[in-house]
Amino acid sequence: MYLALIGYALIACLMFFLIKGKATPISLFIFLSIIAGFCAGYTPMQMNDYIMKGVMQTAPNAVLFTFSIIFFSIVTDAGVFQPLVNWMTKIAGNSVVAIVVVTGCIATIAHLDGSSVPTVLITIGAMLPIYKQFGIRPVVLLCMLAAGMGVTNFTPWAGPLARVAAVSGLDVNALYHRLIPTQVIGLVCMIVLGLYLGLKEKRRIARGLPIPEAELEPEKATGKGHHAVEGKQNRVLFAINVTLVVGATLLLLITHIQAYIIFMCAFSAAMIFNYPNLKAQEGVMKKYAYSAYMISGTVMAAGVFVGILSGGGDASILTEMADVVLHVMPDSLGSHLHIIMGLLGGLIGFVIGPDAFFYGIYPLVAKVGTNYGLSWEEMGLTMVVGKNITMMLSPVFATTYLAIGLAGVELKDHIRFSFLPVVVFSFVMVFSLVLTNTVPL
């Protein structure tokens, strides 16, 4: 019981400081875990062994993020995705329904790099002027942005799946392979949502009804800047970059080569071809070093957290915490715990950030689930899917404020309009895991 209390106190402190934004996840994971280890009576050498094991468990994913983030940043800067965005914008033409559907498709494509800020800049920059021209509500744009980003955010180099892999020790590429059918269903659901919202907007515009939300003056939204292609596109270099993206994606999908090895190779080729001199390469590394380090560093620091929680085997802090939950949970709910957590994931994730959700809640409920025959993999997949879709609605997600600022929409209007369709979207995605036999009911 004493170890369980320490574990719950650790998670409570971690979630409190993460939600309040009092410190970076990197420092919190290390500092709080070390304190918890001393309180649990672990000796320095015991903690050394536990932390080494935890860090070795998370190290491959940290390497993956370091190279994949910079790789996708390079090819995005090179304009690999811009022609596709331009083409889809042209396809939308004068159809309100098509404009709304294309918005979700652009968000899906733009989020292939796993970075939310460029996705927001590209999608809103490309579509907001069209929305204003046709009198379509900006809240519709934000809703489709949330849906499109939520679908793409299942990729191995995006944050949610990486956090699950870091905590569970599972291979992130293997996890993604199991989510591909659900991602396809998500794309279909996103298009259906776009058709529904587009038809509603078409009827509203035909009736001459005004936009009900009070619009703010939007910030200057642009999909250009450092993500734009400047000057005449070098066709050979463009073809090389497209080949690298397609090749890396295919290797990821159809082979069992470690994801971090694929992106180490892709990164090196992209760097050499796009920036053939040392000074330019150093500039790129400095430009993206912060974002790459913050994610990979957080994953490595999470290894300390995981090591302290799970160190000791059957006498670990995490085992004691799970035993407490088992004593209070009705047995009839145990076998459905993964579905329950998947459905609640979007609602819980609405008020807490991904770090607190996946590093604090996931290891606890996954440990409990093992007592009912549920694997860490099954629990992780449902929680990723459930949490993912509501990402761009969360008031604790910084990019939400960037999006509403660019679109000129108040947070309350964004949440009021998008909450129900996005949560329903989330529920459908969770049950699609059952339909595709990815997880049991």
Give pLDDT tens digits for 388-432.
777 788 765 667 777 787 787 887 888 888 888 888 888 888 888
Average pLDDT over residues 77-95: 74
Q: Per-residue confidence at 228, pLDDT binned at 50, 70, 90?
A: very low
User: Picking from 133-137, 187-191, 219-223, which range would have the lowest pLDDT averaged per residue?
Assistant: 219-223
Whether the predicted pLDDT of 260 surpasses 70: yes
The torsion angle over the Cα atoms of residues 166, 268, 228 and 111, rounded to 10 degrees, is: -20
- Which amino acid type is present at position 107? A
Q: Mean pLDDT score of the chain, rounded to an integer?
A: 80
Alpha carbon separation from 78 to 115, 213, 228, 232 (Å, rounded): 16, 37, 7, 11
Domain that holds residue 299: 2-211+241-435
> Which range (162-166, 220-224, 248-252, 340-344) has the least confidence?
220-224
> Highest mean pLDDT range out of 31-35, 76-80, 233-237, 287-291?
31-35
Q: Are residues 159 and 409 in contact, defined by beta-carbon separation less than 8 angstroms?
A: no
Give the H/E segment covering residue 165.
helix 159-168
The 10 Å Cβ neighbour count of residue 238 is 17
Q: Which position has the token pair 């809103």?
A: 124
- Rounded CA-CA distance 130/250 in Å is 34
Q: Are the C-beta atoms of 322 and 367 separated by less than 8 Å?
A: yes
Contacts 24+ apart (CB under 8 A), 331-334: 334/368, 334/369, 334/371, 334/372
Residue 255 belongs to a domain:
yes
Q: Assess contact for 303 and 274: CB atoms under 8 A.
A: no
Segment 144-171 shows an average pLDDT of 82
In a domain, 37, yes or no: yes
Task: Examine residue 247 and state whether it is found in any structural domain, yes or no.
Answer: yes
SS3 category, 175? helix
Rounded to a whole number of angstroms, the distance between the first and last alpha carbons of the chain is 32
Q: What is the pLDDT of residue 232?
A: 47
Residue 103, pLDDT > 70, answer yes
Cα within 13 Å of Cα(30), Cβ side: 12
Residue 287 lies in a domain: yes
Complete DSSP assignment for 210-264: PP-S---------S-GGGSPPSS--HHHHHHHHHHHHHHHHHHHH--S-HHHHHH
Q: Which pLDDT band holds residue 265 (cuts at 50, 70, 90)?
A: very high
Q: What is the pLDDT of residue 296?
A: 78
Please tell me whether the overall predicted TM-score, pTM, comes out greater than 0.75 for this model.
no
The helix (H) or strand (E) run that includes residue 198 is helix 172-206
CA distance 88 to 59: 39
Domain contains 226: no
pLDDT in tens, 348-373: 766 666 776 777 778 878 888 887 88
In a domain, 216, yes or no: no
| Total domain count, the chain | 1
Q: Is the pLDDT reported for residue 151 higher than 90?
A: no
Whether residue 369 lies inside any domain: the answer is: yes
pLDDT tier for residue 301 given thresholds of 50, 70 and 90: confident
Please answer whether residues 288 and 13 qualify as being in contact, where contact means their C-beta atoms are separated by less than 8 angstroms. no
Instruction: Label residue 192 by pLDDT band (50, 70, 90).
Output: very high
Asked whether 356 and 162 are in contact (CB, 8 A), the reply is no
Q: Does some domain include residue 236?
A: no
Q: What is the mean pLDDT of residues 58-81?
A: 79
Dihedral sign for Cα atoms in the order 391, 61, 441, 317 = negative
Helix/strand/coil for 200: helix
**Which tokens hold the place of 399?**
């990019």
* Backbone dihedral angles phi then psi of residue 153, each to the nearest 5 degrees: -70, 10
